[in-house]
């Protein structure tokens, strides 16, 4: 499985890296820079480091490359006008990765 770097990724100070996997087949989806200790509800596109989806094509939804289940849907956050993916709560697992 090929890993794609996100061309719009920006380093975020004070963040930790999470690895997001499919809950159904345990396939790797993305590495994400999370700020704070709250739940993972949305993933800002500029904070996604790398993933199995080619982010330069700006896909409308994130689907698992192995089983095809929908992981997230793309939308624009109203408060800060940034593009993000709203995650389906039961469709993914996350774990903290050492830098």
- Model confidence at 10, in pLDDT bands (50, 70, 90)? confident
pTM for this structure?
A: 0.89
- The third-level CATH classification (topology) of the domain covering 4-97 is 2.170.150
13 token code pair: 């100070």
In this model, does residue 95 exceed pLDDT 90? yes
Instruction: Measure the CA–CA gap between 37 and 48, rounded to whole angstroms.
Output: 17
In this model, does residue 58 exceed pLDDT 80? no
In this model, does residue 3 exceed pLDDT 70? yes
Residue spans per domain, the chain: 4-97
Question: Tens digits of per-residue pLDDT, 37-54?
Answer: 899 999 999 999 999 988
Q: What is the dihedral of CA 14, 36, 57, 99, to 10 degrees?
A: 50
Number of Cβ within 10 Å of residue 54's Cβ equals 13
């Amino acid at each position: 499985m090929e890993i794609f770097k996100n061309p719009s990724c920006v380093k975020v100070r004070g963040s930790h890296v999470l690895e997001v996997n499919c809950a159904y087949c345990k396939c790797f989806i993305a590495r994400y820079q999370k700020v704070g200790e709250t739940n993972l509800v949305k993933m800002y596109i500029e904070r996604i480091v790398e993933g199995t989806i080619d982010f330069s094509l700006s896909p409308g939804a994130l689907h698992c490359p192995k089983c095809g289940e929908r992981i997230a849907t793309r939308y624009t956050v109203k408060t800060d006008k940034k593009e993000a993916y709203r995650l389906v709560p039961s469709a993914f697992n996350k774990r903290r990765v050492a830098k």
